[in-house]
Amino acid sequence: MRLGFWPPVYGNWIISPRPEIFDASYASAKKMTLRAEQLGFQTLLLAEHFVNPISPELGQLDAWTTASALAAVTEKIEIIAAVKPGFRAPGIIAKMASNIDDISNGRFAINLVSAWWLPEFEMLGVETLPHDERYARSEEYLTIIRESWLQDEFSFDGEYFSVKDAKLWPKPVQQPHPPIYIGGESEQGRNFGARMADIFLINGRPVADTKDVIDDMRARAAHYERELRFGISAFVICRDSEAEALAEFERLYALRKNEIIGADKDVVMFKKVPYGQGDLGSNGGIHAGLVGTADQIAARMHEFEAVGVETFLLQFHPMVEEMERFADQVMPLIK
């Protein structure tokens, strides 16, 4: 079992009346990450956004410059940076990733996200594509990144991207290449993950539903003679009693906005786990059911582990206080 967390790159997971915990700054991300490393967390995922998806007027941390900075000040924790095709050329991402892998001494990974936050594309003049075409673009994008890591010289001529005699040196520290995380709910997303992911990320959902996804993805990957590892997103609310935990959920849910405006309505994730219907955090995290006492949360995590989940990408609010509570009360029960 690997424990990870999502630094809240847009300030925090909930619109909070406490302004001191709503902070989309590198200083805040650094503080959280160093504390998480001390507590024993093994990985983190930096979401990539160019405008705050909660409110455009609020702050937004850049994933890749933050990843580079965190790589230089940490010692053990894996740093995953999300990347959306279209905003940066794939060859540039391959080079940046190789360099951050060197800075971190082999602790870097990427999360390829086919992207649903349309206002970012419109704001920055990046071409928007229909849902299915985004996965075709993503496959070309990731092919260029991966083959630039693997080959001494690489050329590619596709519908969306091309490179000619690309040479990337030095190569990443990790061999054959840094881990690739991919998630997806649609047929296109799952097939893409089966072909190209090392770790497939699952949106928060109950254990039985998670097992169905894992069984399905293992079968798809086997078709390509591949094996996958699995991670899941989960929002944690730990309290001394189940009643207290549920009361905290109600309090937090009352604070959040009902909808992320500007999402592509064709994104399958939003159809299966719609915002505004009992959701907290990101990627369906609350639906993993890690709400309750420490014993209840640990038991549920072991249930997920039993069906094949290896990596837990956890969300907390407020981050540092609740991470420390989790480390103190839940970690001893799952180690």
pLDDT digits (tens, 9 = 90+) for 282-314: 889 999 999 999 999 999 999 999 999 999 999
What's the per-residue H, E or C state across 173-209? Answer: CCCCCCCEEEECCCHHHHHHHHHHCCEEEECCCCHHH
DSSP H helices, 40-77, are 63-73
Answer yes or no: are the C-beta atoms of 143 and 156 closer than 8 Å: yes
Topology given in CATH for the domain delimited by 2-334: TIM Barrel (3.20.20)
Residue with tokens 């003049």: 125
Tokens of 44: 């983190």
Q: Residue 201: beta bridge partners?
A: 183, 231
pLDDT the model gives residue 265:
45
- Residue 124 · residue 87 · CB < 8 Å: yes
Q: Nearest 5 degrees, angle CA 32-CA 40-CA 83?
A: 55
**Residue 138 pLDDT > 90, yes or no?**
yes
Output the pTM of the full model: 0.92
Please say if the pLDDT value at position 264 is more than 50. Answer: no
pLDDT band at 269 (very low <50, low <70, confident <90, very high): very low
pLDDT at position 151, please? 97
Averaged confidence pLDDT in the chain: 90
pLDDT score of 16:
58
Q: Which residue has the tokens 């480390």?
A: 327
Share of the chain above pLDDT 90, in %: 75
Whole-angstrom Cα distance, residue 242 to residue 213?
28
Of the candidates 163, 29, 6, the one whose C-alpha atom is nearest the C-alpha of residue 82 is 6
Give the mean pLDDT of 188-202.
97
Sequence-separated (6 or more) residues with CB below 8 Å from residue 172: 97, 98, 101, 102, 106, 108, 149, 178
